[in-house]
Structure 1
Amino acid sequence: MTVRKRKDYLLLTVKGMAMGAADVVPGVSGGTVAFITGIYDELLNSLKKLGPESLKVLFQQGFSAFWSYINGFFLLSVFGGILISLKTFAALISAAIAYQPLLVWGFFSGLILASVYLLVKVQPKWQLTQWLGLLSGIGIVVAVSLATPAQVPNEWWVLFLGGFVAICAMILPGISGSFILLLVGLYPIFLNAINQFNLLALASFGAGCFTGLLVFSRILAWLLKRFHHTTISVLIGFLIGSLNVTWPWKQVVSSTTNRHGEIIPLQQTNVSPFEYAQLTGINSQFSYVLILAITGLVFVIGIEYIANQMNKKSD
């Protein structure tokens, strides 16, 4: 387990908060933020250790050995940050999207473009299998983003299954767990459960998330070990495909009205900034959106550059 100081765990908590903030937004993946902030591999490997092997260590060697084995302080910091963010920033991000959606989606698009750049940098191998993986990743995310949201019953077992599927998406860069919840009709139920602190709903969802983490983290870790270059190319495809979701300018094709009288878009199609202005009568804010996208792009690449320079100095 990596030796860290208190400030390092505080930084991990902040990164977890960034992941949680991203997971609240349909179309943005916490896994993408984990990639951007450089904790994805450690997160995946730490999650993979949760299971029967860790319980064996607990009973045979004690809690201290168990905690070290699962990289406990790392997981506690990251998931503590995620939980803090889910409760704290859910309303804040919802308000930001409500009042300045174009600017928010522009910034997120810049973050995703930076993630694509960083992954392509570490993908030296582009053969037929990798190109097929890339196209498959793009196709899967685009197909998911174009699907029509469903309506499901508000039952504990449905929330369990929703948590299972959503957490798998949350740890995959480019596939948004909250967008999956939106597609299956659980997103408003999930937000209400957080805001109202519905213990049964949150416990059911949390149990599904925990089960999904135990199962899917192992599958993904195995894929990265056995088919690393192809898996990375699929992840790049996921990220590129998710740009279809974060594209700021959209035309609402179908919508519904919730119990508060608010209009909720169900299906949207991407349009150009100029079409958006003509269709909606709202300023497309093209220049500001472009500036925010470039800011997100430069921000992430700048962080990666600074981290590389610090690593060189430490060596």
Structure 2
Amino acid sequence: MGAADVVPGVSGGTIAFISGIYDRLLESIRRINPSVLVKWRQQGFAAAWQHINGTFLVTLFAGIGTSILSLARVISYLLVAHPIPLWSFFFGLITISLIHIGRQIPRFDLANGAAAAAGFGLAWLLTVSNPLMLEPTGLNLLFGGMLAICAMILPGVSGSFILLLLGLYAPVIGAIKGLELTTLAIFACGCVLGLLSFSHVLSFLLRRFRSMTLAFLCGLMLGTLNKVWPWKVALTTRIDSSGNEVAVTEQVLSPWAFEASTGEAAQILLAMTAGLLGFGLVWALERFAKEQGQ
């Protein structure tokens, strides 16, 4: 989940869903509320810890944090040096994840179709929107953390991409690389606030309107595929915190049009191999989740 959350366009929530821990994650977070303090006072710390599934949450978020800290530099490098195989890998991962989640919708009726269309429209609008350029002030970082974490637990919506749209992606990644503790602490507070509030809403929707919610999430994932399409050219660019020129808005091309436009190799065979690796990862996660369930 941490590795996925570093990449704009890829959601850690997708990884949680295909690995079979999504409902457990939402339910555990939802239980972190004032009633935990009452349980602690009446039954002790062990009962309160078990109530929120504390060991699961600490282990999961420790893994996410470790992955983000260790892979931020690697992912940033691959996005610049080897973008086609990296995007191909995530395109394959999201495509097979979309199929995996879609299989869990029991029927496709008008309500589910409308929910899927709404999700697709929202995701497409986000991916073609011109980004803002917010200053990395304390209030903006707090607000950005709240929005990003909401996106991070939604399959199909990337928290990193939300930060990119807000103009906060470079400052946050720069703070992670440079271990700027004040910036990270403010951003983390926003994440905690957003997570504790949004998890209640999403958990309620999955309990009461599961089919429509899954259809909406499928629409979100389908609508973001243009963001992770491997062959694209930059229409507008910006300079990141490392002084590199990176794309802000992009145009999707076919592999052959990409070669003609840029003069660079489309790396079709390498892209197909990377996409199949993404497929294989999801298949392995599905198998693992089924075995754990048994």
TM-score in same-fold range (> 0.5): yes
Give the equivalent residue in structure 2 for 1:15. Answer: none
Residue 292 of structure 1, aligned match among 251, 274, 280: 274
Render the CA deviation track for 1:37-91: whole Å, top value 9, x for unaligned: 1111111110111111212212222211111010000000000001111111100
Q: Does 1:199 align with 2:199?
A: no
In 2, Cα distance between equivalents of 1:40 and 1:306:
14
Does structure 1 residue 117 correspond to structure 2 residue 99?
Answer: yes
Going from structure 1 to structure 2, the CA distance change for 1:186 and 1:157 (only over 3 Å counts) comes to same
Match of 2:160 in 1: 178
**Would you say 1:215 and 2:197 are equivalent positions?**
yes
Partner SS, residue 243 of structure 1: coil
| Cα separation, partners in 2 of 1:307 and 1:188, compared to 1, 3 Å | closer
1:273 to 255, 269, 272: 255
Q: Classify the secondary structure of the residue corresponding to 1:173.
A: coil
3-state SS, counterpart of residue 247 of structure 2: strand
- Deviation per CA, 1:251-302, whole angstroms, max 9, x where unpaired? 1111123464321211101111111011111100112212221221133124
Letter in 2 for 1:140: L
Alignment RMSD (CA, Å): 1.4
Residues paired across the two proteins, number = 294
Structure 1: state its 5+ residue gaps.
1-18
Secondary structure class of the residue paired with 1:114: helix
> C-alpha distance in 2, partners of 1:21/1:311?
22
Give the counterpart letter for 1:89 in structure 2: L
1:112 deviation in Å?
0.6
Q: Which has the higher contact order (CA 8 A, sep 6+)?
A: 2
Q: Closer, same or farther in 2 for the Cα pair 1:61/1:307, shift >3 Å? A: closer
Say which of 189, 193, 198 aligns to 2:171.
189
The answer (yes or no) to whether the contact 2:20–2:289 under 8 Å persists in 1 is: no
Structure 1 length normalisation: TM-score?
A: 0.90
CA deviation after TM superposition for structure 1 residue 187, in Å:
0.4
Q: Residues 47, 259 of structure 1: CA spacing in aligned structure 2 closer, same or farther, 3 A cutoff? A: closer
Given candidates 3, 7, 10, the residue that maps to 1:28 is 10
Aligned counterpart for 1:53 among listed residues 3, 16, 35: 35
**Partner AA of 1:116 in structure 2:** L
SS in 2 for 1:245: coil
Misfit runs of 4+, over 6 Å: none
TM score, norm. by length of structure 2: 0.96
CA change 1:203–1:172 in 2 (3 A) is same
Q: Which residue in the other structure is 1:102 paired with?
A: 84
Q: Partners of 1:31 and 1:220 in 2: how far apart?
A: 12
C-alpha separation between the residues in 1 aligned to 2:184 and 2:44? 30
1:244 aligns to 2:226 (yes or no): yes
Contact persistence 2:149–2:194 (CA under 8 A):
yes
Structure 2 residues not aligned, in runs of 5+: none
- Paired position in structure 2 for 1:230: 212
Shift of 1:198: 1.6
Equivalent-residue separation in structure 1 for 2:289 and 2:155 (angstroms)? 21
- Work out the percentage of aligned pairs sharing the same amino acid: 40
Letter in 1 for 2:219: G
SS in structure 2 at match of 1:38: coil
Contact kept, 8 Å, 1:156 with 1:200, in 2: the verdict is: no
SS in 2 for 1:169: helix
Indicate the SS of the match to 1:254: strand
Greater CA deviation, 298-307 or 262-271?
A: 298-307
